[in-house]
Amino acid sequence: MCDINQSDCCGNGCANCILDSKPLSTKRVDFVNKINILHTYRKYKLIKRIQPNNQPHLVQLKFAIADDKKQLTEFILDCPPGHHLMMRAPLLADVENIDNKTVLRPYSPFWTDITEFEFEIMVNLKPNGKMTKYIEKLKVNDEVEFRGPIGVFVYEPSFKVEKALFIFCQGVAIAPTIPIIENIIENEDDICRIYHYSCFENIDNIIFRQKLLEFNKFWNFSSKIFLSHQKCTECGNDCSVDCDNFKRQLKYKEQIKLQRLDKDTISTLLEEIKIETKQFVICGSNSFQNFITEYLRNCNVNKNCLYVL
């Protein structure tokens, strides 16, 4: 087990603060006697850095434990779906803050390898962001610290009673929803249906579009994407669903709506699904989280069924 103190908090007011997060034993049945290596800060080496096409503000980073894996036989790397990690990096000299020598920021792995001690994150680089400045300079073979897992999301598979999992996410916050989906669709006995609603600015900004298309092939997954500012690449005006140029960009069975996800739309989406047992996951900026949470609470959704990641 590890100690957590005030200096472990990133100070950004996360819905699930590291200070409230108790490091629990792993729930993975094959690994009950193993220690989760994430419970204390360790160094991880950057082993791959990818710049997704057309999205210069995004960077996909793959890390592996820096220690010799042969010495880690009693450990695993367990970041449960919907949980995140805290990254700790040196504060670069050109950042104006002389009090703190390090910068802490949470990131949500969208892929992990439990026994190889590897994980991947997708980072949305923010202009002049403190961690962004560090990540921009981070090269393959550089080492940086992580610890975790942080979060409260709990998912119980449904074997007898039909269940609906509604996921509302925005931008890069789609990342933690990927392992949640994979965990469900990979369990053939789980009869939970997933309704995934993701929001982006325009079609070029969609993150994990290919993954969503692959998930769409599963009987229990359905996805709708909402674009708030789609401009036609031919005429430059706001795009409409009737625009032939827009239609040409859609993939097979892809449902993309050219509108913001507003209250009326959420209400219609919820009414469409007649399944009684419902669970909700919300992930995005503070304003997005507050908007969706408030609306669902006004619809009398039980707070125990509602998870803000």
Ligand X SMILES: Cc1cc2nc3c(=O)[nH]c(=O)nc-3n(C[C@H](O)[C@H](O)[C@H](O)COP(=O)(O)OP(=O)(O)OC[C@H]3O[C@@H](n4cnc5c(N)ncnc54)[C@H](O)[C@@H]3O)c2cc1C
Question: Residue 301 CB, nearest distance to ligand X (Å)?
Answer: 21
Question: Residue 59 CB, nearest distance to ligand X (Å)?
Answer: 9
Binding of residue 129 to ligand X (CB under 6 A):
yes
- Select 34 or 147, whichever has its Cβ closest to ligand X: 147
Question: Residue 260 CB, nearest distance to ligand X (Å)?
Answer: 21
Distance CA 59, CA 49 (A): 7
Which listed residue (38, 61, 91, 123) binds ligand X by CB under 6 A?
123
Binding of residue 220 to ligand X (CB under 6 A):
no
Binding of residue 79 to ligand X (CB under 6 A):
no
**How buried is residue 275: exposed, middle or buried, by Cβ count under 10 Å (0-12/13-18/19+)?**
middle
Which listed residue (18, 65, 131, 199) binds ligand X by CB under 6 A?
131
Which listed residue (23, 57, 67, 124) binds ligand X by CB under 6 A?
124
Backbone angles phi, psi at 119, to 5 degrees: -155, 165
What is the DSSP-derived secondary structure letter of residue 135? Answer: H
The site map against ligand X for 155-184 (x = CB under 6 A) is -----------------x--x---------
Binding of residue 81 to ligand X (CB under 6 A):
no
Residues 3-22 that bind ligand X (CB under 6 A): 12, 14
Which listed residue (21, 60, 112, 132) binds ligand X by CB under 6 A?
132
Would you say 40 and 95 are in contact if contact means Cβ atoms under 8 Å apart? no
Nearest Cα to Cα of residue 39 among 103, 70, 85: 85
Count the residues of the shown chain that bind ligand X, applying the rule CB under 6 A: 20
Binding of residue 107 to ligand X (CB under 6 A):
yes
- Give the sign of the dihedral formed by CA 189, CA 195, CA 200, CA 206: positive
Question: Residue 81 CB, nearest distance to ligand X (Å)?
Answer: 13
Binding of residue 122 to ligand X (CB under 6 A):
yes
Q: Tokens 């049945």 label which residue?
A: 29
Buried b (16+ CB within 10 A) or exposed e, 174-213: bbbbbbbbeebbeeeebbbbbbbbbbbeebebbbbbebbe
Binding of residue 130 to ligand X (CB under 6 A):
yes
Binding of residue 290 to ligand X (CB under 6 A):
no
Q: Taking contact as CB under 6 A, which single stretch among the options 60-68, 118-126, 191-199, 237-245 is the one that binds ligand X?
A: 118-126
Distance CA 261, CA 268 (A): 11
Nearest Cα to Cα of residue 227 among 239, 244, 243, 215: 239
Binding of residue 84 to ligand X (CB under 6 A):
yes
Which listed residue (69, 126, 137, 229) binds ligand X by CB under 6 A?
126
Q: In the chain, where does DSSP find H-type helix?
A: 130-137, 177-185, 209-215, 244-249, 263-272, 286-298
Binding of residue 88 to ligand X (CB under 6 A):
no
Question: Residue 122 CB, nearest distance to ligand X (Å)?
Answer: 6
DSSP secondary structure of 154-206: -----SSS-EEEEEEEEGGGGTTHHHHHHHHHT-TT---EEEEEEEESSGGG-
User: Using CB under 6 A as the criterion, which residues of the chain lie in contact with ligand X when the complex forms?
Assistant: 12, 14, 84, 105-108, 121-124, 126-132, 172, 175
